[in-house]
Amino acid sequence: MSAPGTEPTVVEVTTTRVDGVIALHDLADRLRRMAGRVRHESTDARLNESLARVGELAGQLADELLRLPADRSPETAP
């Protein structure tokens, strides 16, 4: 989020689909681990329940990303 009166910087990134899937997998895996770590340290039951769900969904996303065929492009995806 940018400060009032400033515009966010836009960075153009050129990457392959495989690089993108790997980056998303790494992000999902980090999110899963972070949710688990915070949940372990927290004493708030509602927060822990939410973090458990976030961790579960991030793990599922990471697993699904690994299952994507590397050669499938958006044009050929169903």
Segment 9-23, tens digit of pLDDT: 665 555 566 777 778
Tens-place pLDDT, residues 23-36 = 887 888 888 888 88
Q: Quick check: is 3 in a domain? A: no
Q: Quick check: is 43 in a domain? A: yes
pLDDT of residue 16: 66
pLDDT of residue 63: 80
* Domain total in the chain: 1
In the block, which residue shows the tokens 């990471």?
62
Q: Quick check: is 44 in a domain? A: yes
**Signed CA dihedral, 60, 77, 69, 72: sign only:** negative
pLDDT of residue 67: 80
Q: Quick check: is 73 in a domain? A: no
Q: Is the pTM of this model over 0.85?
A: no
Q: Quick check: is 31 in a domain? A: yes
Q: Quick check: is 6 in a domain? A: no
